[in-house]
Amino acid sequence: MAELNGKVALITGAARGQGAAEARLFVERGAKVIITDVLEAEGKELAESLGEAAIFVRHDVTDTESWDAAVAAGISAFGRLDVLVNNAAIYLMKPLVETSSEELERILKVNLLGAFNGIKAVLPAMTAAGGGSIVNISSQAGLEGLMNHSAYGSSKWGLRGLSKIAALELGPSQIRVNSVHPGPIATPMVPYLTTGPGSFPTLPLERSGLPEEVAELVAFLASDAAAYITGAEVTVDGGLAAGKFIPRNMQ
Ligand SMILES: NC(=O)c1ccc[n+]([C@@H]2O[C@H](COP(=O)([O-])OP(=O)(O)OC[C@H]3O[C@@H](n4cnc5c(N)ncnc54)[C@H](O)[C@@H]3O)[C@@H](O)[C@H]2O)c1
């Protein structure tokens, strides 16, 4: 079990879904958490439910000034910053021929530029703390080509690459950077997903994942238990990216 005692973590897009599950688990494991999102009501409610260990800051990851304000609010509340989880993202499933350049730009701006802004914004605080851990939430769509995901997939491939470059450049400052690649996870981003045995028969574990299952991996990468892990890409996808799975009814 990854302990996070004494760590201060900023988690973007944490008002709901995986980010909210990460905020809850981080607090359970001893961390203080800065929950940020553009969704104010949900974010405030979550922070209140976590008591003194969490604050909510309204924050748009595309805006560098908003990043500076979120980091400053976190440091003023908790005194330091050790962990950044770049989790905020938006989704689009559409054939490439129907995807406009504006849609591609919008997705890249939130999912890739947002994380880039975040890495730069936390650097001074992490350097002052003597190091830190940055976890970038990419996707299975950032490991393989996924049909009808030209904009979203490009942003997630970009984030995977950015993670490796940041790991190389920030390693000497003892800042670790890793990417996480979830498969289908039941959250408001993909409301059509169901959960439970058999809910996703076309991947090896034959079910969708839960936000809490991603949170366990993110907590591990954020913790000192992962002290020698940087530049890695880790899946949490029920085996989806392992290869070409043949579902039972097609064997
Ligand atoms: N759910 C899945 O199947 C799945 C699969 C692979 C990867 N992911 C990735 O996991 C991460 C979490 O997604 P989720 O499934 O919890 O979805 P979600 O939609 O529930 O959560 C994403 C959050 O990001 C916030 N957000 C969007 N734009 C923002 C902005 N400009 N600034 C700040 N916050 C913003 C949203 O308000 C939302 O609360 C995302 O990076 C997503 O791409 C999800």
Query: Is the distance from the beta carbon of residue 189 to the nearest atom of ligand 1 less than 6 Å?
Result: yes
pLDDT number for residue 31: 98
Q: What is the whole-number distance in angstroms between the Cα of residue 15 and the centre of ligand 1?
A: 10
Q: Does the global pTM surpass 0.85? A: yes
pLDDT number for residue 138: 99
Q: What is the whole-number distance in angstroms between the Cα of residue 172 and the centre of ligand 1?
A: 30
- Segment 46-66 mean pLDDT: 98
The residue whose C-alpha atom lies closest to atom 21 belonging to ligand 1 is 17
- Segment 235-241 mean pLDDT: 98
Q: Which atom of ligand 1 is nearest to the CA of 87?
A: 41
pLDDT digit string, tens, across residues 196-221: 999 999 999 999 999 999 999 999 99
Q: Which atom of ligand 1 is nearest to the CA of 86?
A: 41
Query: Is the distance from the beta carbon of residue 46 to the nearest atom of ligand 1 less than 6 Å?
Result: no
Query: Is the distance from the beta carbon of residue 61 to the nearest atom of ligand 1 less than 6 Å?
Result: yes
Active site residue 152: yes
Q: Which of the four pLDDT bands, split at 50, 70 and 90, describes residue 2?
A: confident
Task: Assign 3-class secondary structure to the chain.
Answer: CCCCCCCEEEEECCCCHHHHHHHHHHHHCCCEEEEEECCHHHHHHHHHHCHHHEEEEECCCCCHHHHHHHHHHHHHHHCCCCEEEECCCCCCCECHHHCCHHHHHHHHHHHHHHHHHHHHHHHHHHHHCCCEEEEEECCHHHCCCCCCEHHHHHHHHHHHHHHHHHHHHHHHHCEEEEEEEECCECCCCCCCCCCCCCCCCCCCCCCCECHHHHHHHHHHHHCHHHCCCCCCEEEECCCHHHCCCCCHHHC
pLDDT digit string, tens, across residues 143-160: 999 999 999 999 999 999
pLDDT number for residue 186: 98
pLDDT number for residue 1: 75
Provide the mean pLDDT of the chain. 98
Query: Is the distance from the beta carbon of residue 16 to the nearest atom of ligand 1 less than 6 Å?
Result: yes
pLDDT at 112 over 90: yes
Which one of 18, 36, 109, 140 would you pick to mutate in the ligand 1 pocket, going by the greatest count of ligand atoms within 8 A of its CB?
Answer: 18
pLDDT digit string, tens, across residues 6-50: 999 999 999 999 999 999 999 999 999 999 999 999 999 999 999
